[in-house]
């Protein structure tokens, strides 16, 4: 979830070249991409994750772990 787009996003809908580019950026080590994730929640705390993601003054990207 990300407040900028105000949406819940997933990994679907991307082209193979998009994923290749992202993997190359991440592998380069040039940027600390983990820093854009400000909060992480387990799936059973989805409601709190949504509340947190909507607090634009205190949250950037919120990750919900979909492990089951």
pLDDT tens figures, 43-64: 899 899 888 988 888 887 888 8
Share of the chain above pLDDT 90, in %: 6
User: Are the beta carbons of 43 and 66 closer than 8 angstroms?
Assistant: yes
User: Are the beta carbons of 6 and 13 closer than 8 angstroms?
Assistant: no
- Provide the whole-model pTM: 0.54
Give strand pairing partners of 40. 63
């Amino acid at each position: 979830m990300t407040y900028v787009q105000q949406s819940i996003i997933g990994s679907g809908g991307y082209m193979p070249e998009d994923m290749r580019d992202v993997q190359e950026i991440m592998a380069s080590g040039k940027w600390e991409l983990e820093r854009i994730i400000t909060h992480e929640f387990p799936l059973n705390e989805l409601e709190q994750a949504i509340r947190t993601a909507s607090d634009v003054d205190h949250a950037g990207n919120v990750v919900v772990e979909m492990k089951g």
